[in-house]
Structure 1
Amino acid sequence: MQKVEREMIFQAQTQGIMEGWLERLGAKLDHLFIKKGLLLVLVGFLLGRALILAKIAPFALPFFAAVFLMRKEKTGQAAIAVVLGALTTSIPSAGFTFASIGAFFIFYLIFSRISFDRVKVLPLNVLIASLATRLSLTYVFNHELVYYDIMMSIIEAGLGYILTLIFIQSVPLLSIRRRKQVLKNEEIICLIILLASVLTGTIGWSVYDVSVEHVLSRYLVMLFAFIGGAAIGSTVGVVTGLILSLANVASLYQMSLLAFSGLLGGLLKDGKKFGVGIGLLIGTLLIGLYGEGTTDLLPTILESCIAILIFLLTPKAAISKIATFIPGTEEHAQEQQQYMRKVRDVTAKRVEQFSTLFHALSNSFNYQGLTNKDEDDSREIDYFLSNVTEKTCQTCFRKTKCWEDNFNTTYDYMLEIMRECETNSSGPPNRTLQREWDNHCVKGARVYEEIKQELSFYHANQRLKKQVQESRRLVADQLLGVSQVMDNFAKEIQRERENHQHQEDQIIEALAGMGIELGQIDIYSLKSGNVDIELSIPYCNGTGEAEKVIAPMLSDIVGETIVVKKEDCAPFPHGYCQVALGSAKAFVVDTGVAHAAKGGAFVSGDCYSTIELGAGKYAIAISDGMGNGERAFLESNETLVLLQKILQSGIEEKVAIKSVNSVLSLRTTDEIFSTLDLAMIDLQDANVKFLKIGSSPSFIKRGESIKKIEASNLPMGIIQDFEVDVVSDQLKSGDILVMMSDGVFEGPSHVENYDVWMKRKLKEISTGDPQEIADILLEEVIRTSGQIQDDMTVIVAKIQHNIPKWASIPVYPSKKAL
């Protein structure tokens, strides 16, 4: 065992050393080739050698111009590289390259004075510099210009113009490290053209009759076919073969070989590297027999074998790094997913920081200091008495005797007078206290009057202070609620979408077995009670295929009721309809409302609301403004609107109600109050929470039994600080919830016990329809009272199990996803 452990430790250490060495080697190579510009030097050298038809050299100047525009600090290295590359072919070619660079600078200075857009002017600069240099050199050496020379110069300059546009896109890929950036299709093509142009510079190089350009071009095709598949492989083959055939017409058949090999290699990429290599061998045999016959087939096969060997020796890490930039590859998808995960984590972290900030602000507003309430009251009384003594005792000749010799006695007397004036402001004064104080103080009557006057300011300051405290508490509660919402939102962001590829395949297979074709399917969640699936189906012509067939089949597949949440039909035939499916709620609520204004008026002071919140909850609310008419209506309506907005934001119910109460109590000094009767029903388990603020009782009817729900809370807006009593209950399917305003509950005349009368009337109602119950109950109240004495509102809600319209369609057990 110890020997095995030592071997494992040795292997781990060896692997760590190798990984560290490879990482350091990669960093050094990256520094040498990218940062130091060695890669640009090698590419420039080969492009300086590249010729078309052994006469035209359109590659060197566009490459130099692109480096001058993108990496100005590497301009000297690029110029030396292309000139040296041209010098290996011939001295005239090197002279043309050197002269064209000089002409480029001359025309660049001219164009820089005309236009400031260097990117648009650069290709034209290359065209004019190349054309002028070629025509000038031809005229100097031949002493004449024939039509052929002019045409070849124009072709060379035109190719230079086009290659400049291409190299502007591709040179940054070789010189600047791109961070998690995807190559566009145009950039991929430009990069392939650049690489093929570089391979042109190897024409004429051979080792034991093995052409270097053939080996490298086939290796390039295999590399991209393995990374991008048949489409990318064949594209690279066509572009590379075309450029090589332009440089050497005798190699025209190479374009067919490379294109066909790229296609076969991409189709056989599932066989890994060996599959791509077999594709190249098959293409070499077929095209080689057609192009060169059996006599020259052996060197071609040897070149392909060498290319395959180099491809097999290529590190997997290098291939994966290249694949991250190619759209459609698995590495690219993982890179994008990693990038999105990083963005998600950063966003969640920022939201959490904001949540922490709001929580700290809430604590700051709630901070009341280290002193307690008794100390604050004592300090306020001291300030009060000091103001009184400042106006009465400062100029009195008995000041020293009262406040130095008999401080406690004087202080207690004044404090008792203050409390007496507070409790008995309008009644007759306390004769005993007044007589004792007159015996103690020579200015007793004046002190009495000053205390009474100062009390009004004292009470005003106390009210203002209390209002400020309530304002701070309101802000603190709101900030705390926002903090909780943002914290929940951050946790929701961090819930990464799970990979449901296997379940998607199973669902597609199961539906295909029933003859249903899916265009696309995305599974966001398969959590019980929170299934979220989006899919596209062929044009259904409004037949409801998703609701009648697909949703019932998915119900059997995932094991719970699935319904159509949203469906967007295709606007034209042969299109696709987008369908969103999700879990059905366990319970549904059917409501009925009946209301009437006082005296049959048009405007009622009662307001009601029934809304389904996004968290799977159903809210029923009634608000009764004080009084009747438009003013009461505005008050109750504003209460419900404000409550609805706060609840929809995700803030907890108790915090929402306390916030609304604080707003109502602080916004006006008028005695305008409103009641609130709120019921929050959970549609998954039918649990209900009642929050009653000065409202009438509610009733739950279950068969023949009637249950009363009530709570003791003052109406909203009367006091600033209050606790909300929450009454919870468990509803069942078939239960009927009856909520009403005080106009309905206390409406019947000549009734001693409203509870007994309401329970008896609810028992007598035989119908189960919520709207009929509401209408009957309101009519009974009006008939009993003989008139509409107050605003009346009654809401009846019936809770039932959610029974889907369509039963689930059974699928073969082997095809079920869960």
Structure 2
Amino acid sequence: MQRPQISSYRRRYINEISEGMNVDNTAVFLCVIGFLLGRAVIIDNLGPFGIAYFIYMCTHKKYKMPVFFSISAGIILSHSGPHALRYIITLFFINFISSFISKYDDNIFRVSIIGFFITSISGMTYSLVTDLYMYDILVSIIEGLAVSSLIYIYSYGIPLILKRSIRRSISSEETIALSIIIALSITGISNISLFDVSLKNVLSFLIIIVVAYQAGPALGSASGITIGMITTMNTVSSPVYIGIYGFSGLLAGLFRKVSKYATTIGFIMGWSVITIYTRGSSELVLTLREITISSLIFLMIPDEKLKYVEKFTKGILGSEESSINYISRIKEMMNTRLKDVYKAYEEVGVTFEKVREKDKVLDQRDIASVIDMVTHDVCSDCPMKRGCWNLKFTKTYNMFTNILNHLEEDGRIDNNYVKAKFERDCMRFDDVIKGCNHYFDLFMLNYKWNKKLCETRRLVSSQIKSIAYSIENVSNEINNSMDFDMDMENNIIVELDKENVKVDKVSYIKKNDNFEINIQKRNCYSGDLCEKKLINAVSRAVGQEVSAYKMGCRSMNNICNIRLVNFKKYTAKTDVSYLSKDGNIISGDNYTYMEISDGKYMIVLSDGMGKGEKASEESALTIEILEKMIEAKIDEKISIETINNMLMLKSSDEIFSTLDLSIIDLNNGNLESVKMGACPSFIKRKKGGVEVISSSSLPVGIVSEIKIDREKRSVREGDIIITVSDGIIDAGKDKNLGENWLYTVIEKMDKKTTKEIAKHILDKSLELVDGKAQDDMTVMVTKIWRNRK
């Protein structure tokens, strides 16, 4: 017997049902929402929420059938018989035309129009079967409009649920739509209770508290109003509850920055005050248990789980998130560009380094060239040429080669050497000697220039590589250690406003464990606003002490730029005493001391070769370059190599200068000392004793490849760092005291201030040279102080 054929329509219908019966975690979640929306009822047993939900889900065939059954179950359990039958028939009709609806999955407006007509016609048909009144027609049209609006809302919220695992950025519309869906779902819980505790109220309170804690008072009150309006829309006292929910969310959000406990207390206070004022104390007692349960659940939720809510709340409060994302994109773009520049410069540096340097004045090819030139000049018209170069070519060529090799070793040719080995075979050996010497001199000159060129190219290569590494360091710093904090900037602005300090711009930049605050405002004219108001207000805002970087007014065109950093544990103060050689106005010693970035303090002393203007120019160049490069956060090794290359390339003359660099970390008291041909420096401890820091490295500008010696020490409050030039150290040589004389003076002196100490050491040095300085004399004295909060 032949099996009956299944019609193409039935086959397609069965396939659609099987496609829509997928069950997974997402399907279960959607079914729960469908069940609750099916149960949600407003005035006169109207339930448009489940109908709108199913119409929209027809555009997602994968979950259509599970949602159909869940909505049907919700409708059956919540509506009375005739109303339930009406909505079930409507669902079946929608399912019947679901293929038609799914064609417009990319046009939600048309789907909304279809939903309007289906719901309106369904309501009018039901009214016609019972008793048709004009009121029923209006209600049917209103219900159709509600379904149409809800479909549009679902089109924003449901896709967020379907793709929740891959979404990273959420729009404001999606967040609002999702909150409405949640509020409608809570309405579907209806009167379900356990031990007289309303599940609907517990979930409503919990959601408001969570949103207020994560997003603040604005979104907390907004969520309270939304949930209050939707969950109580079918009650007479709905306006009152909307106010109670909204005020409670507002008060909870105001306390969110204190703690989770303060947030729950704020919510309870807001609910209690308004409820007692509007509904009486008896109403408060009925809901207090539910509020307590919600608060306890909230307190038990780990902060890591609550962070998940931020993705949704920042969809509404997205201006800050957008700014941070914009900054991140800028950082990423700048990092990529800087990396490209770094690679380009590094490649250029490597290319410059690949240069062939001659090992000898004359290689085999050069020897052949010299022989050819000498032969052309001397042997071309010699009557013995045929015998030497035709009959005895190998012997003659080897003799020339031996002469040139001897010339390479000794620099000049010994006549006796040539005469003994060459006179018998050559009648013009004197001319041969002159020719060989002449061409060798030319090749020697070329060899020297080749060496100079190779050395210069190595210096240029080293400098280009240093630039590349500096760019890479800047790139890494931008990419890794800089974060902007918008909340902290707002806190600073609020605290400054409380002190009546008006600012134009505030930026808070966090760098690892440190931070930097830049404030731009109009001049205060008195110049003391930083110390009187601004630092105290900013310290309160950030929750720790801050200090001004380079204290003092830095203003231009009536605009003041203030830079604040972490409160530093120590402060350094430096004084200098100096005297030029032979009373010259210009000193060959140059120095600088300054506070640099990241809470560090730099002391530099440089002594140029010789005296007067030339020495001053060399040391000034060293100081100027080092100061700018260190201020630009370029590593001191790269800075010193740059100075070395500059001095070597600056002139054909041999110029150099010593360099004595000390960097003190004012946060922890670490001292790092770098010396390049500099004199020993000394640390006089507050508790007694003197420590010497010395080095045997060469000054900068002498050799292309320098060796940098670093020495690290620790300094504490009251310690004194003494840096001197060689004019001070050498003052004791004529008295056969060496360097030890200064150690003894420092150990025995009882001066306290930096100015007194510097003057005392200079005076002692002058005593040793009978008041006549034999070299430029400079003394730098730095004392460490502990800051008091």
TM-score, scaled to structure 2: 0.54
- 1:451 counterpart letter in structure 2: F
Cα distance in 1 for partners of 2:741, 2:194 equals 101
Alignment partner of 1:588 is 2:577? no
Q: Secondary structure at the match of 1:325?
A: helix
Shift of 1:195: 3.6
Cα distance in 1 for partners of 2:225, 2:697 equals 82
Cα distance in 2 for partners of 1:724, 1:169 equals 64
Give 1:573's aligned residue.
none
Q: Secondary structure at the match of 1:678?
A: strand
* Alignment RMSD: 7.5
After the TM superposition, which residues 247-396 of structure 1 pair with which residues of structure 2 at under 5 Å, given as runs?
323-326=306-309, 377=359, 381-389=363-371, 391=373
User: Would the alpha carbon gap of residues 696 and 41 (structure 1) be closer, same or farther in structure 2, given more than 3 Å must change?
Assistant: closer
Give 1:284's aligned residue.
none
Question: Which residue, out of 33, 38, 47, partners 2:37?
Answer: 47
User: Would the alpha carbon gap of residues 436 and 57 (structure 1) be closer, same or farther in structure 2, given more than 3 Å must change?
Assistant: farther
Give 1:739's aligned residue.
724
Cα distance in 1 for partners of 2:690, 2:232 equals 94
Q: Secondary structure at the match of 2:722?
A: strand
Shift of 1:471: 4.2
Shift of 1:665: 1.8
Report Cα offsets for 1:3-37 as digits up to 9, x if no partner: xxxxxxxxxxxxxxxxxxxxxxxxxxxx94346x3
Of all paired residues, the percent bearing the same amino acid is 17
User: Would the alpha carbon gap of residues 320 and 213 (structure 1) be closer, same or farther in structure 2, given more than 3 Å must change?
Assistant: farther
Shift of 1:661: 0.4
After the TM superposition, which residues 559-578 of structure 1 pair with which residues of structure 2 at under 5 Å, given as runs?
565-566=547-548
Higher RCO (Cα < 8 Å, 6 or more apart): 1
Cα distance in 2 for partners of 1:464, 1:368 equals 11
Give 1:435's aligned residue.
419
Alignment partner of 1:177 is 2:164? yes
After the TM superposition, which residues 103-122 of structure 1 pair with which residues of structure 2 at under 5 Å, given as runs?
122=108
Report Cα offsets for 1:636-670 as digits up to 9, x if no partner: 4442233234445777756642342024324x454
Alignment partner of 1:412 is 2:402? yes
- 1:33 counterpart letter in structure 2: D
Cα distance in 2 for partners of 1:589, 1:717 equals 31
Report Cα offsets for 1:141-170 as digits up to 9, x if no partner: 859997635643564355446545653453
User: Would the alpha carbon gap of residues 722 and 233 (structure 1) be closer, same or farther in structure 2, given more than 3 Å must change?
Assistant: closer
Shift of 1:739: 3.2
Q: Secondary structure at the match of 1:167?
A: helix
Cα distance in 2 for partners of 1:700, 1:198 equals 74
User: Would the alpha carbon gap of residues 106 and 593 (structure 1) be closer, same or farther in structure 2, given more than 3 Å must change?
Assistant: farther
- 2:85 counterpart letter in structure 1: S
Q: Are 2:664 and 2:672, in contact at CA under 8 Å, matched by a contact in 1?
A: yes
Cα distance in 2 for partners of 1:648, 1:167 equals 57
After the TM superposition, which residues 511-530 of structure 1 pair with which residues of structure 2 at under 5 Å, given as runs?
none
User: Would the alpha carbon gap of residues 432 and 164 (structure 1) be closer, same or farther in structure 2, given more than 3 Å must change?
Assistant: farther
- 1:177 counterpart letter in structure 2: R
Cα distance in 1 for partners of 2:459, 2:530 equals 57
Give 1:678's aligned residue.
660
Gaps of 5+ in 1: 1-30, 113-117, 271-286, 330-335, 337-342, 495-523, 535-540, 552-561, 569-577, 809-818
Question: Which residue, out of 618, 626, 649, partners 1:643?
Answer: 626
TM-score, scaled to structure 1: 0.53
After the TM superposition, which residues 477-556 of structure 1 pair with which residues of structure 2 at under 5 Å, given as runs?
none
Cα distance in 1 for partners of 2:39, 2:229 equals 18
Alignment partner of 1:197 is 2:166? no
- 1:170 counterpart letter in structure 2: G
Alignment partner of 1:716 is 2:700? yes
Q: Are 1:242 and 1:252, in contact at CA under 8 Å, matched by a contact in 2?
A: yes
Q: Are 1:622 and 1:741, in contact at CA under 8 Å, matched by a contact in 2?
A: no
Alignment partner of 1:59 is 2:44? no
Question: Which residue, out of 446, 454, 470, partners 1:457?
Answer: 446
After the TM superposition, which residues 138-287 of structure 1 pair with which residues of structure 2 at under 5 Å, given as runs?
142=128, 148-149=135-136, 151-153=138-140, 155-157=142-144, 159-160=146-147, 163-164=150-151, 166-178=153-165, 190-191=177-178, 193-198=180-185, 217=200, 220-221=203-204, 243=230, 245-246=232-233
Cα distance in 1 for partners of 2:305, 2:750 equals 76
User: Would the alpha carbon gap of residues 633 and 132 (structure 1) be closer, same or farther in structure 2, given more than 3 Å must change?
Assistant: farther
Q: Are 1:606 and 1:623, in contact at CA under 8 Å, matched by a contact in 2?
A: yes
User: Would the alpha carbon gap of residues 597 and 456 (structure 1) be closer, same or farther in structure 2, given more than 3 Å must change?
Assistant: same
Q: Are 2:575 and 2:758, in contact at CA under 8 Å, matched by a contact in 1?
A: no
Q: Secondary structure at the match of 1:90?
A: helix
Question: Which residue, out of 600, 614, 622, partners 2:606?
Answer: 622
Cα distance in 1 for partners of 2:672, 2:448 equals 43
Cα distance in 2 for partners of 1:478, 1:225 equals 55
Q: Are 1:223 and 1:311, in contact at CA under 8 Å, matched by a contact in 2?
A: yes
- 1:621 counterpart letter in structure 2: L
Cα distance in 2 for partners of 1:177, 1:226 equals 22
Q: Are 2:31 and 2:71, in contact at CA under 8 Å, matched by a contact in 1?
A: no
- 1:612 counterpart letter in structure 2: E
User: Would the alpha carbon gap of residues 772 and 65 (structure 1) be closer, same or farther in structure 2, given more than 3 Å must change?
Assistant: farther
- 1:461 counterpart letter in structure 2: N
Report Cα offsets for 1:554-602 as digits up to 9, x if no partner: xxxxxxxx9863599xxxxxxxxx99764522x733213557899988x
- 1:194 counterpart letter in structure 2: I
User: Would the alpha carbon gap of residues 471 and 193 (structure 1) be closer, same or farther in structure 2, given more than 3 Å must change?
Assistant: same
- 2:448 counterpart letter in structure 1: H
Q: Are 1:170 and 1:194, in contact at CA under 8 Å, matched by a contact in 2?
A: yes
Shift of 1:417: 1.7
Cα distance in 1 for partners of 2:198, 2:652 equals 92
User: Would the alpha carbon gap of residues 463 and 185 (structure 1) be closer, same or farther in structure 2, given more than 3 Å must change?
Assistant: closer
Gaps of 5+ in 2: 1-21, 77-83, 262-278, 313-320, 322-327, 483-509, 518-528, 552-562
Give 1:661's aligned residue.
644
- 1:171 counterpart letter in structure 2: I
Cα distance in 2 for partners of 1:85, 1:589 equals 81
- 1:675 counterpart letter in structure 2: S
User: Would the alpha carbon gap of residues 200 and 771 (structure 1) be closer, same or farther in structure 2, given more than 3 Å must change?
Assistant: closer
